[in-house]
Amino acid sequence: MSKQAIGIDIGGTGIKGALVDAEKGVLLSDRERIDTPDGGEPDDILNTVVQIFERFDQLDANAPVGVCFPAIIRDGCTMSASNISKKWIGLEAEKLFEARLGRPIHFINDADAAGVGEVQFGAAKGKNGLTILTTLGTGIGSAMIYDGVLIPNSELGHLELDGKQAEKRASASVKEDEDLSWEDWAKRLQKYYEYLESLFSPDLFLIGGGVSKNAGDFLPLLELQTEILPAMLRNNAGIIGAAYLATLGPN
């Protein structure tokens, strides 16, 4: 297995990338970030990814690339579009990126990549039973891992909460847009995680996304039967998980 890979995390507001040691699960470079182009069109996002690549001076020409993306991913195709252009639906994204970048690409759902990162190198390492990671950002992504095995494309942010999709009620972007206090936001999160408990009876919740750095402001406000922890890799989990998967070879 190659030790070096590059991880790209495409989100609704920002596109981030870094060189990764895929054996140790650590970044080998500074994390580069460029705002996601307005509209999230495929060509515009691909051009932005190319710009990030150009910032890495010592990238191994043979290093594989893992790309995590806010969509259902099936056989390298993006089958949904959340907070991005609908032109991604049904797009052979993996082949498109390989043709432009000239190297092997592994496409995976963004929250699934974060979940894999946490299983291999973070807070879910060695955990038995069901772990549910949720990324609280522009929307709500989710990863379900049972005894270390990923159950892909769970998309639990689209469950209904108070008559709307959960990510339209309880994501970090909603907290910011509605100027919710930590206490008011925690009330919405309480409902959401109680609902997940009733459906899946998980053994562990992990909270990812940029807001995880503020976990001390809201996690103590939640009263759940399930242990709930911030993701250990924080906002790098997707980058590290995607890079790790890219080193494993073809799907």
Q: 123-231: which CATH number, 3.30.110.60, 3.30.420.40, 3.40.50.970, 3.90.700.10?
A: 3.30.420.40
pLDDT of residue 2: 54
pLDDT of residue 102: 87
Question: Scanning the structure block, which residue is given the tokens 């972007």?
Answer: 173
pLDDT band of 103, cuts 50, 70, 90: confident
Which residues does residue 151 pair with via DSSP β-bridges, in sequence order? 144
Distances 85 to 7, 44, 100, 248 between C-alpha atoms, Å:
22, 10, 19, 30
Segments of the chain assigned to CATH 3.30.420.40: 4-112+237-246, 123-231
Question: Scanning the structure block, which residue is given the tokens 């699934």?
Answer: 112
Which element (helix H / strand E) includes 119? helix 110-121
Measured distance CA(153)–CA(125) in Å, rounded: 20
Residue 235 pLDDT exceeds 80: yes
Q: What is the mean pLDDT of residues 8-27?
A: 93
Q: Which token pair is 128?
A: 């038995």
Question: pLDDT tens across 51-96, in order?
Answer: 998 887 666 777 889 999 999 999 999 999 877 899 999 999 999 9
* The architecture CATH gives domain 4-112+237-246: 2-Layer Sandwich (3.30)
Q: Look at 48-57, 91-100, 113-122, 191-200 and tell me which has the smallest mean pLDDT.
A: 48-57
Q: DSSP assignment of 142-185, as one string?
A: EEEEETTEEE----GGGSEETTEETHHHHSHHHHHHTT--HHHH
Question: Scanning the structure block, which residue is given the tokens 């980058």?
Answer: 239
**3-class DSSP state of 245:** helix
Question: pLDDT tens across 146-197, in order?
Answer: 999 999 999 999 999 999 999 999 999 999 999 999 999 999 999 999 999 9
This model's pTM is above 0.85: yes
| Chain center to CA of 197 | 21
Q: Which token pair is 101?
A: 């970048």
Q: What is the mean pLDDT of residues 196-225?
A: 96
